[in-house]
Structure formats: C-alpha cells, structure tokens
Structure 1
Amino acid sequence: MTQAGPMAEDCNSKATEERILPADRHTREINLVNRDPKSLNEDAVRLDFDDVIAEPDGTHSLDGVWKTSYTAFTISKYWCYRLLSALLGVPLALLWGVLFAVLSFCHVWVVGPCIRSCLLESQCLGQVYGHGVRTLCDPLCESVGRMFQSVRVVLRREI
C-alpha cells in the first residue's frame, strides 16, 4: 500500500481547480470593495473637485462659497452617478455583454479561421516564390560572383 505524498496532493488539487474554474467564472462572487481591480479607469474618470475647479493664488472666492461649491460638486457627482447607474447600468451591461459575445463569436468562428486560412495559403505561395527565386536568381548570382571573384580591391592612403 503506497502513501500519497505532498506531490500527489498538489496534482489532485490542481486537477480539482481546473474542473472548478470554468464554472466558477460565472458563479464567483464579485468584489464590492475594489471594483476596478485592473485599474481600467485610473486616469479617465477619477476626478475630484480639485481636478476640475481650482482658484489660483490672488483669486479666491469667499471661504463659504468655496466650501459650498465643494459640497455641491461632490454630492451632485455622487448622486447623479448613482442615479444614472441605477437607471442605465443594467441595460448597458446587457448591451455590452451581447456586444462582446458577438465580437467573441465573430473572432472564434470568422476572424480566426480566415486568418489561419490566409496564413496557410500565403505559406504555400511563399514556398512557390522561394523555389522560383532559387531557380532563377541563384544561378545568375553565382555566375556574377564567379566573374568578379578574381577582382581584388586595395585601399591606399596617399598623403
């Protein structure tokens, strides 16, 4: 009777993970804290009050106006985004899901096979071209090379 060591456990856990991963992609829980784990919107939509409105030195509004403007900007941005995402988030997610499904379908069933077909055909044409070049150009280049093989070039520096 043989005992399974750590190596066998690793193989079994990897095989189990491979079987779970495809189904897990659709049923996994999403991260509600870090909603941009790949930093897609790091520079594009990460705007605060200071990024949009700024008063240079020597041109300052009243402190109360500045504080109220900050509050109005922050709250309106926050609630407008929430309202728009509540109204349009799910329909747009559905639209983008369908669009990327169509793009994936086209890539798998149309673009990929077309590219592979073109590569196969160009490989065949490349071989025919290579044979033609070797048949026509090689003898010509060899003849020209033999004609000039006895030519010697000497460089002298004359002062």
Structure 2
Amino acid sequence: MAEPKKLDMLNRDPNSINDELRVRFEDVIGEPESAHSPECAWNCANLCYEGGRKCCYATLTVLCSWLCGLCWGCEFACLTFSYIYSWTPGLKRFRLYCGMQQKFYETCLACCLGPCASTCGLLLSNIKISQG
C-alpha cells in the first residue's frame, strides 16, 4: 500500500477550492465614510470578531473534523467503488447495446430506403437547367 502523502501544514488549500470563503473582519463588515464608529469601537469589534471566529472554528474542528473526515472519506470511497464497479461497466454495456441498435437501423435503412434513394438520385441527375 502506498505511503500517505505528506500534508502541507502552511498552505492547506493548495487547489484553491475555497477561494470564495472570505470571512475575515474586513471581508464581512465595512463602514462607509458617512458612518464611521470611533476607532476604539472599530478595533474592539475587530478583535471580538476575529477572536470569536478563531475560537469557535478551532473548537468545532477539534470536536467535529475527525468525524467529518471519516464521513467524507467513506462517501468518496463509496462513490469511487460505485464508479468503478457499477457506472463504468453499465456505460460500457449501454454503448454496446446502442452500437448494435445503430448497426440494425443502418442495415434496415440501407435495405429499405437505399434502393429508393438511388432511384430518385438517378432520376434527378438527368435534370438539366439552362438559362433561356
């Protein structure tokens, strides 16, 4: 079995899958020029927001991340299993059936409509148009 890939502990979103998730204070709360609070209130709000966000996130990840990781790992394992042992063979079977149906219809059309189309083509090929 392959050794697990070492995790990058600094860049934890190397594929940028959560770029839209901006939740820093300045990304969520902003005061227009006409409605500025005192600096001490603004700094206090920033400290409370960031402290509460980091503390709550840290608590939730400690309590729940292992369970979420387990559930999502099982979910993707089941999806991978289903893809390999159900969807891919089913799609292959469907393509084979469709290929047979296509050959059947091609044969029917060539036998039934082919002679009629050839005759019409011969009749219409003798038409000559001249400008008078």
Same fold (TM over 0.5): yes
1:48 aligns with 2:24: yes
Task: Report % sequence identity.
Answer: 25
TM-score normalised over the length of structure 1: 0.77
1:79 aligns with 2:58: no
Q: 2:76 aligns with which of 100, 104, 109?
A: 100
CA change 1:55–1:143 in 2 (3 A) is same
Match of 1:11 in 2: none
1:145 aligns with 2:89: no
SS of equivalent residue, structure 1 residue 55? coil
Match of 2:13 in 1: 36
SS of equivalent residue, structure 1 residue 148? helix
TM-score normalised over the length of structure 2: 0.91
Match of 2:107 in 1: 131
CA distance in 2, matches of 1:78, 1:72: 10
Offset at 1:136? 1.6
Match of 2:2 in 1: 23
**Once the two structures are superposed, what CA deviation does each residue of 1:94-133 show, in whole Å capped at 9, x if it has no partner?**
0111111111111111111111111111111111111111
Offset at 1:151? 2.0
CA change 1:109–1:155 in 2 (3 A) is farther
Offset at 1:39? 0.7
Instruction: List runs of 5+ in structure 1 lacking aligned partners.
Output: 1-21
Structure 1 letter corresponding to 2:67: P
